[in-house]
Structure 1
Amino acid sequence: MKSLLRAAWKTPKSAVRVACRWRTQVAAAKSPLNYAVRNLKHELQDDGHMRRGRPGSATKRNYQMFESLVDSRFAEVLEDWGPWASNQDEYRSFGLTSQSLLDREVGLFKMVLDKAFTLAMEKGDTSRQENPLFWNLRNAFIKHEARGLSRELKYAFQTFLMRSRFPKAVNQLHMELADLRFPYEWYPATRMLQRTIHLHVGPTNSGKTYNALKALENSRTGIYAGPLRLLAHEVWNRITAKNKACALITGEELRIPSNTDTWYHSCTVEMTPLNALVDVAVIDEIQMIANDDRGWAWTQAFLGVQAREVHLCGEERVVDLIQDLCARLGEKCIVHRYKRLNPLESMGKSLKGNFKNLQKGDAVVAFSRVSIHQLKAGIEKETGRRCAIVYGGLPPETRASQAALFNDPNNDYDYLAASDAIGMGLNLEIKRVVFESSYKFDGQAFRPLSIPEIKQIGGRAGRYRTAAQEIAGRSSAPTTGFVTALDDEDLRDIQKAFRTEVPPIQIAGIFPPPAILERFHSYFPPRTPISFVLARLREISRLSSRFQLCDFTTAMQIAEIIKPYDLSVSDQCVFLHIPVNLRDQRQLLALQAFAECVAQLGLGRLLDFGVIDLEILDIQRPDTAYAEQAEYLRRLESLHQIITMYLWLSYRYQGVFQSQHLAFKVKSLVEEKIALHLEALNFVPEAQRSRRQRMRAMAARTEMKERTLLGADEYEDAAAVVHNEEGHEDDEPLFEGPDEVGGGGSAETEAAKEARATASG
């Protein structure tokens, strides 16, 4: 059986690093084991302190409970798939020609599951190398809880069914196509160049990006690639202000200069033009090359950009990786190290939750637009002074004017409420950074901020020079920057982060390009779901020690959603990266409608899509009812994201999605309505204090759950390296959690009450 296990699940070297996330589930899972699983921390405290080796009794109980959950979820997967007679076509594609054969395969798969858990419980073999099936299941459960576990079980069972489906020659061909050890060979035109790599590294506010941009401005042609749309806009403004032609390219906006044949490019990193030969390319925040979701975009830009000089800007911990990759490429790597231009200190006391303890020049950082606007209202009410507001979702002009108001010492805008986007390089004259909390909602769960996130955001305190001072040629003496928190509980996390060194980045993320996926898919039976092709590729891929596959979960979910539509493999590959929130039913319906439109080569006029909730534009903001306000805001946010999806597709299928101008108009109307709603929010101190306590408890519960299933060593390894910046460009979430959307009042939705009850154990 051990040989069967290893044959069926070859060590997935490509499996992604466990991220520090565990979605706190507010709706009860189908499994009757849900309550018991949620309360594992009370029964298995010693597992969080387990060292590697044979598991203790608490760990065994933990894994036994997890095995029961896996059995329950697998039964539900089979139930959803249905009996052989009702789903013959799909079963036959996996070589199952009768119900009895299906039953036999189910029995064999259960034996393999049992063996995987035996290895974990009896020998402590839980790593990717020793027990990949167990590792994949546990990883899926940690990252996406019960639903993620069900998806992983489905993919694992499909992989198991296909183990003998292919002849030996085809299997060998699969292995050759899945050899992803040399991703730099995917860009042959770039390999013909002899590039020089300049690596600018140092802490926040050390001048590394400033010097790289100087090299860009002194070149004849060049590219800037950054992590956020707001940074692309900022660089675009900087270059055009010097009367130089520059294109702006983001996922939902394209501005190409007219009356010229050559221009600079300022873009988000996913949109880096790899076919443009330029003198200088600047790739910002290169440490995100290891990001679980977006790291592939930095790797692609670094390996593929055709520039004679490539300037990479980032943290010191990426040096070894970049030097090693440059050695493999045969390219010269010059490291430029910078020291911080002014001192930075974490403070010994918090604001005690009182805005009256704010000082002129303070920036309070939150992680959703609702929180930011509530902070603004509370600060202005408590202090009697004005508070500027800056976050990625603001229109560029508004963002620039708000930053100018805050930077100007001669007005009454003493404070700033901002998102964590300020950590990515905006020019703001901040004297002290105040964290509203030391946790954030990452789309799955409330999780503690990672050490790099805290250092990068906090590092914006005590700016040396602002952009206005640079343009005017004025200088200012460097002043010490301070970092603190609104509450004492969060300040302890901030202080700990500033005392902790983060280990070097060892691995760059990759995602197979469409050409590899299309060719790999061609060696499967017709109409094989691309989600299974991705699962198979993830399972058998070969990678070098310096590369890992980015998380396939979202891509496989999208592939499942668009499976009913007759899309070419090329079109499916396009849809895999569409910016969609899979937890929003309205967005799922829109995604299906867009996929159907592409499959039928229809005229994708915006007004023809009945699933787009344009009626919300005719509804006025409810004044009183909490539930109505919450639903109103959710509908606006959903519409905004659907229009963003439409615009994203309009640049890739210009002949299909033809209402681009109308879409921009609708997007503007939605943003105005959201802004009016946010500006009307109230700040209720007790309600916000209670919310922070609840969310802090949920984040602590997330951390404890991860320790429980991972064990101390594995948890610390994961926590030390995870840096999950926003997954798709720079739109902050509109709200965090179910109890934030109603304006800060005391009322709670049922989901919020359940979340609070769960957080309290």
Structure 2
Amino acid sequence: MTSAVGVCWRCARHVRVFTLRRGSWGHCRSGYQIAALAARLFNSKPPPVVDETAAVEDDRMAEPAVSKRVLSGQPLRQDQQSPPKSCDSGLSRVQLATGDLETLLEGFSQRPGVQLAAVEMGIPEGILKRSLKSFRDSLADTVSLSRQPLLFKLLGDIIAGSAHIDDLFPYFLSHTRETYPAATVVPQLQKICDLTQPHMWYPRARAFKRRFVFHAGPTNSGKTHNALERFLSAHTGIYCAPLRMLAHEIYRRSNARGTPCDLLTGDEKQFASGDPDAPSGHLSCTVEMTNTESYYDVAVVDEVQMIEDPDRGGAWTRAILGLPAEEIHLCGHESALPLVRRLTDTIGDQLEVCRYERLSPLVPLDRSLEGDFRNVARGDCVVIFSRHKLFQIRRRVERATNQPCAVIYGGLPSGTRVQQAELFNETGNSCEIMVATDAIGMGLNLNIHRIVLYDLTKFDGQEVRQLTSAHLKQIAGRAGRYGLDFDRGEVTTFYPQDLKKLHSLLSSPEEDIKQAGIFPTSEQIEHFSQLLPGASFLDILSLFFKMATIDGTFFLCKVEQTLEAARCLHGLSIPLRDMYKMCLAPTEKEYGREILKQYATDYSCGEHVTFSRLCEIDWVAETSPSLPRPTHYI
């Protein structure tokens, strides 16, 4: 016995398997688990576990004496995929000699064309031999055979030479699907779950060659400005923003420049014309709302390094692979360039690179704040990587400096975030200090002189991790914004023990991004579900994610979050496509899932779901201390 690397027929993954001779492959444990789950959905028994150490029967058999065309290997005819449904009870019986029948069936079993057609019709190689044997046994049962007059007559005609042995194939296919319902459908499911070529999901974008321009540079280098100029000057264009707030900013800036632009985010639509039936040629949207069906002259995809984000990365991959635009500008860190180059090379699109340097210097200081909030000064932004700590630190800064602080964090509504930014930026305002999370790393133009890092670790949802070099540079780069009050930016730490690590991370080269996030389309989930009639949406998603096949370029995004939402909605009668969209809603927190469940429940009952109805839901919203407001908003 030897071992080798083969492809498991149940899960299609490359695994180390055992073989006695070429073609005798075992299967992996995960493959059996998948087949067992599929069997449960069909209310049938899972396929037996193959004993990989058992001897494999000799495949070499003598050529039967029926006809040499039995072993010719010619493909089967297209009309041989389902047996006749009607039977003529008046057909005369043909006496079948036992020896002739055995010879015929053995010839059918060994015919290469039959084996090839069976695999192409979705019968796994691991099932094929067992099914052929059970088919032969069923035909050897004269009582059972006598109940199928057409098949009985066909066997006699084949032995007599007036029919072709290929004509048995529809009966064999029907027998296999009845005997092994789960095992025969798994390969078909596996084809749907093949996510190794996501660029083929977007036929409009594959219809022509696109030109990519990668604007690579650090924060405050002007890379996005140049891309936006092309967006504003184009006849039609789309801007794909990483944040709702940034989508709002480009929407306002475009219309102020005289370029009519619409706005589309997950919770808002605005039309420059005021008429939904008269959309503008330009659109500013969050990247998740990217339209891959409409053609654009110019597209801008901002913060492309977010393609590696474990939750949202699939939105950037979808935009890069699926935007039907002649000219696509990607803005972000150079660490994303090798991955983007691999993607464009796979597609065959053109890629140009424009590199930028920072417009104003960023200086890492040699001294920290010594752990004293009294050292916080005008123009400082104290960065904390915990929303829970944010308001504690804000209160301590205000007590130590006797000055109110502006506050920015990820969950802050876009309008409030803009107000806080204006409050901090405006000269002469009382709020000259900001306390923020790393949400300041993208989108806002802030008049920051010095970034003060309260710590260098962040909880990622599973464990506390040290900041990466790329993440730290993104945040530190917000200091010294070009064209504002300070001619240079500074960065330091709150505690002296973190200062050495800060300098090390800032001087370290950024690691190249290795993988891009992807997520299955609603069409794939629908197609998958059609092969699992009666299965719940939760079972469908669970099986899909277990069977999904991806290569090293990609990874699956937010699997657990989607499954958790599916568990929350389990049992509701909602069309699959709508259910899938609901499961993609950002509902990481318990109260968010409660709102989603109530929304889905009302929707499943055919009721109109209004804002006032959602306000009636018995849930407790998170509350935050009151924030200072600009005087012109009061």
Q: Structure 2-normalised TM-score? A: 0.68
Q: Is the 8 A contact 2:38 2:182 kept in 1?
A: no
Q: Does 1:228 align with 2:243?
A: yes
Instruction: Write the deviation string for residues 100-145 of structure 1: whole angstroms up to 9, x where unpaired.
Output: x9xx99xx89x99xxxxxxxxxxxxxxxxxxxxxxxxxxxxxxxxx
Larger helix proportion of the pair: 1
Q: Deviation at 1:679? A: 7.1
Aligned to 1:538: 545
Other structure's SS at 2:353 match: strand
Q: Does 1:93 align with 2:41?
A: yes
Aligned to 1:528: 535
Other structure's SS at 2:621 match: helix
- For residue 604 of structure 1, what is the amino acid of its counterpart? V
- For residue 281 of structure 1, what is the amino acid of its counterpart? A
Q: Deviation at 1:675? A: 4.8
From the superposition, tell whether residues 450 and 611 of structure 1 become closer, same or farther in structure 2 (CA, over 3 Å). farther
Which whole-Å CA distance do the structure 2 matches of 1:306 and 1:300 have between them? Answer: 11
Aligned to 2:56: none
Q: What pairs up with 1:324-473 in 2 under 5 angstroms? A: 324-466=342-484
Other structure's SS at 1:456 match: helix
Return the match for 2:621 from 611, 636, 652. 636
Return the match for 1:595 from 596, 600, 604. 600
Q: Deviation at 1:541? A: 3.1
Q: Deviation at 1:515? A: 0.4
From the superposition, tell whether residues 600 and 574 of structure 1 become closer, same or farther in structure 2 (CA, over 3 Å). same
Q: What pairs up with 1:558-637 in 2 under 5 angstroms? A: 558-582=565-589, 584=590, 586-608=591-613, 612-613=617-618, 635-637=620-622
Q: Deviation at 1:168? A: 5.1
Aligned to 1:277: 295
Aligned to 2:560: 553
| Consecutive unaligned residues in structure 2, runs of 5 or more | 15-36, 53-178, 630-634
Q: Deviation at 1:433? A: 0.5
From the superposition, tell whether residues 438 and 312 of structure 1 become closer, same or farther in structure 2 (CA, over 3 Å). same
From the superposition, tell whether residues 193 and 383 of structure 1 become closer, same or farther in structure 2 (CA, over 3 Å). same
Aligned to 1:317: 335
- For residue 621 of structure 2, what is the amino acid of its counterpart? L
Aligned to 2:493: 485
Aligned to 2:502: 494
Q: Is the 8 A contact 2:448 2:481 kept in 1?
A: yes
Instruction: Write the deviation string for residues 383-411 of structure 1: whole angstroms up to 9, x where unpaired.
Output: 23343333444454543343334334445
From the superposition, tell whether residues 604 and 329 of structure 1 become closer, same or farther in structure 2 (CA, over 3 Å). same
The answer to which of 168-177 and 190-199 deviates more is 168-177
Q: What pairs up with 1:659-678 in 2 under 5 angstroms? A: 674-676=624-626
Q: Is the 8 A contact 2:213 2:351 kept in 1?
A: yes
The answer to which of 373-382 and 329-338 deviates more is 373-382
From the superposition, tell whether residues 543 and 598 of structure 1 become closer, same or farther in structure 2 (CA, over 3 Å). same
From the superposition, tell whether residues 552 and 477 of structure 1 become closer, same or farther in structure 2 (CA, over 3 Å). closer
| Consecutive unaligned residues in structure 1, runs of 5 or more | 14-88, 113-163, 467-475, 615-634, 638-672, 681-761
Q: What pairs up with 1:111-190 in 2 under 5 angstroms? A: 166=181, 169-190=184-205
Which whole-Å CA distance do the structure 2 matches of 1:576 and 1:349 have between them? Answer: 48
When Rg is computed on C-alpha atoms for both structures, the one with the higher figure is 2
Which whole-Å CA distance do the structure 1 matches of 2:352 and 2:505 have between them? Answer: 30
Q: What pairs up with 1:241-320 in 2 under 5 angstroms? A: 241-257=256-272, 258=274, 260-320=278-338
Which whole-Å CA distance do the structure 2 matches of 1:243 and 1:559 have between them? Answer: 45
Q: Is the 8 A contact 1:12 1:538 kept in 2?
A: no
Instruction: Write the deviation string for residues 470-505 of structure 1: whole angstroms up to 9, x where unpaired.
Output: xxxxxx7842x2211222344344333213223211
Q: Deviation at 1:275? A: 2.3
Aligned to 1:508: 516
Q: Is the 8 A contact 2:424 2:433 kept in 1?
A: yes
Q: Deviation at 1:423? A: 0.8
From the superposition, tell whether residues 493 and 254 of structure 1 become closer, same or farther in structure 2 (CA, over 3 Å). farther
Structure 1 vs Structure 2: percent identity of aligned residues? 36
Q: Deviation at 1:177? A: 1.6
Other structure's SS at 1:636 match: coil
Which whole-Å CA distance do the structure 2 matches of 1:396 and 1:93 have between them? Answer: 45
Other structure's SS at 1:364 match: strand
Q: Is the 8 A contact 2:480 2:486 kept in 1?
A: no
Q: Is the 8 A contact 2:245 2:443 kept in 1?
A: no
Q: Does 1:191 align with 2:206?
A: yes
- For residue 508 of structure 2, what is the amino acid of its counterpart? T
Which whole-Å CA distance do the structure 2 matches of 1:188 and 1:11 have between them? Answer: 26
Aligned to 2:61: none
Q: Deviation at 1:570? A: 1.2
Other structure's SS at 2:399 match: helix
- For residue 502 of structure 2, what is the amino acid of its counterpart? I
Q: Deviation at 1:339? A: 1.3
- For residue 212 of structure 2, what is the amino acid of its counterpart? I
Other structure's SS at 2:432 match: strand
Which whole-Å CA distance do the structure 2 matches of 1:301 and 1:413 have between them? Answer: 39
Aligned to 1:649: none
Q: Is the 8 A contact 1:373 1:679 kept in 2?
A: no
From the superposition, tell whether residues 369 and 544 of structure 1 become closer, same or farther in structure 2 (CA, over 3 Å). closer
Which whole-Å CA distance do the structure 2 matches of 1:243 and 1:675 have between them? Answer: 39
From the superposition, tell whether residues 612 and 448 of structure 1 become closer, same or farther in structure 2 (CA, over 3 Å). farther
CA root-mean-square deviation: 3.4
Q: Is the 8 A contact 1:341 1:478 kept in 2?
A: no
Q: Which runs of 4+ in 1 moved over 6 A?
A: 1-6
Aligned to 1:212: 227
From the superposition, tell whether residues 404 and 590 of structure 1 become closer, same or farther in structure 2 (CA, over 3 Å). closer
Which whole-Å CA distance do the structure 1 matches of 2:420 and 2:409 have between them? Answer: 10
Which whole-Å CA distance do the structure 2 matches of 1:317 and 1:212 have between them? Answer: 19
Other structure's SS at 2:292 match: coil
Q: Deviation at 1:542? A: 3.2
- For residue 474 of structure 2, what is the amino acid of its counterpart? Q
Which whole-Å CA distance do the structure 2 matches of 1:375 and 1:245 have between them? Answer: 42
Which whole-Å CA distance do the structure 1 matches of 2:7 and 2:231 have between them? Answer: 51
From the superposition, tell whether residues 261 and 518 of structure 1 become closer, same or farther in structure 2 (CA, over 3 Å). closer
- For residue 464 of structure 1, what is the amino acid of its counterpart? Y
Q: Is the 8 A contact 2:221 2:358 kept in 1?
A: yes
Which whole-Å CA distance do the structure 2 matches of 1:513 and 1:320 have between them? Answer: 26
